[in-house]
Amino acid sequence: MTRFWRVWAVLFWCVLGRAEPVWADAAPLEAPAPKACSFDAGEGAPGLSRRDAFAAGEVVLTFDDGPQPSATKRLLDQLDHHGLKATFFVVGLWVREDTYQLIQRMASSGHEIGTHTYGHDLRLTRRGWGVDYIEGQYELTRVLVELALLAGSRDEFRALYRRVLERKPGAILSPSQVRARWRAIQRNHFELLAERGFDQEQRVYPMRFARPPGGIPYEGHWPVRKMREEHEQALGNLGLLNVLWHGVSGDTVLGRLDDSEFLLANVRYHTRRGGILLMHDRMRADAMADVLERIASDPKLRVVTLESAAAAKYGCSARELYAGLRASAAVAAR
């Protein structure tokens, strides 16, 4: 090749071979729309984890282990003040007569509510009690959230609790009591819903998300595949997406709980990268105020909901995703 053609070949490659075409400014290329309800069966159960790519600065705010009477109220006030939407992964045993109105407020303010099990059982998948027990731990929180949403007063919440759980309000179920009683409690709940005019399988609250306590058996070194399979089967039975996280605020690191700068630095780092951020309702008040102020005032950050993050991943809502999975399972079973 002569020198003349070599120069032209290099110029041709420079113009046409660039990852971004030089005429992109004139006619921007649109990203292809995701295939409707696409789900990779090799992924295990549907859900979101650190393996899912988020754009830099795009964050989902999640708060675990509530509701707590004063901490969750303060947090809801601050989220309202900044116009931020979050997801609360609720622990069922904390849904009580002094917190049921906080559940109502989460729903009416447009926050998402997920289940973080009834008793925050860190041995959820390690007791060897199988899929049924795991399902019961997640389902009891859903029942309690729905009782909270149905109650028109503290007295009514107490009455609903007594009727459905067949216990004194506030009495806590042990893991073995959850295992033995959850199906009967669910049955009582469905009877109550039927009396209130709900159709079969219609729920008070369309809960779509679950998070295992401590992230076990996904976070850390839990090599037992059976634990994950049982966990995913339980969530599949309930139609819930498994939600882990990309970054933590560090508000459970003993010895650093009073270190506001440490918490803020963690949040700054993880929000800049983008993804699901894990915090707790009970984070110290001044640190929480700083964190939310920073998130709300940073023009490079965009707070999105879990529902929209799931929809971006799967090409449809969580509800449609599970309806599609159920339909294909029914076809396969024929």
Q: Shortest approach of Zn ion to residue 38 CB, angstroms?
A: 31
**Residue number with CB closer to Zn ion (46 or 114):** 114
**Gap between the Cα atoms of 236 and 279, Å rounded:** 26
Size of the site for Zn ion (CB under 5 A): 3
Q: What is the CA radius of gyration of the chain?
A: 23
- Name the one range near Zn ion by CB under 5 A: 9-17, 48-56, 57-65, 323-331: 57-65
Pair 212, 243: CB distance under 8 Å: no
Q: Look up tokens 């929209």; give the residue.
A: 308
Distances from the Cα of 53 to the Cα of 50, 245, 307, 310, 327, angstroms: 7, 11, 15, 12, 28
- Closer of 64 and 121 to Zn ion (Cβ): 64
What minimum distance in Å lies between the beta carbon of 211 and Zn ion?
7
State both tokens at 20: 């971004």
Minimum distance from residue 100 beta carbon to Zn ion (Å):
20
**Rounded Cα–Cα distance for residues 17 and 51 (Å):** 30
Q: Nearest distance from residue 10's CB to Zn ion, in Å? A: 58
Stretch that binds Zn ion, among 138-146, 160-168, 211-219, 253-261 (CB under 5 A): 211-219
Please report which residue ranges of 166-317 form alpha helices under DSSP H. 175-195, 225-238, 260-273, 285-297, 306-314
Instruction: Tell whether residue 121 is a contact of Zn ion (CB under 5 A).
Output: no
> Considering only 16-24, 61-69, 73-81, 251-259, which stretch makes contact with Zn ion by CB under 5 A?
61-69
Position of minimal CB gap to Zn ion: 64
Residue in 45, 63, 65, 244 binding Zn ion, rule: CB under 5 A: 65
Q: 279 or 310, CB closer to Zn ion?
A: 279
Shortest CA distance to 262 belongs to which of 284, 282, 245, 295? 284
Other Cβ atoms less than 10 A from the Cβ of 264: the count is: 17
β-strand pairing of 209-210 with 241-243: parallel
Counting other chains too, the contacts that 184-192 makes at CB distance below 8 Å and 24 or more residues apart are: 185/140, 185/143, 186/139, 186/143, 188/163, 188/164, 189/143, 189/146, 189/147, 189/164, 192/150, 192/160, 192/163, 192/164
Shortest approach of Zn ion to residue 104 CB, angstroms? 22
Q: Which is nearer to Zn ion, 216 or 234 (CB)?
A: 216
Distances (CA, A) of 37 to 34, 209, 321: 8, 17, 5
Instruction: Compare residues 62 and 271 and give the one whose CB is closer to Zn ion.
Output: 62
CB of 213 to Zn ion, least distance (A): 5
SS3 275: strand
Closer residue to Zn ion, CB minimum distance, 64 or 307: 64
Closer residue to Zn ion (CB): 164 or 263? 263
250: left (phi over 0), alpha (psi -120 to 50) or beta: left
Choose the binding region for Zn ion from 39-47, 62-70, 244-252, 262-270 (rule: CB under 5 A).
62-70
Out of 46, 54, 64, 236, the only residue in the binding site for Zn ion (CB under 5 A) is 64
Q: Which is nearer to Zn ion, 65 or 232 (CB)?
A: 65
Q: Which residues bind Zn ion (CB under 5 A)?
A: 64-65, 213
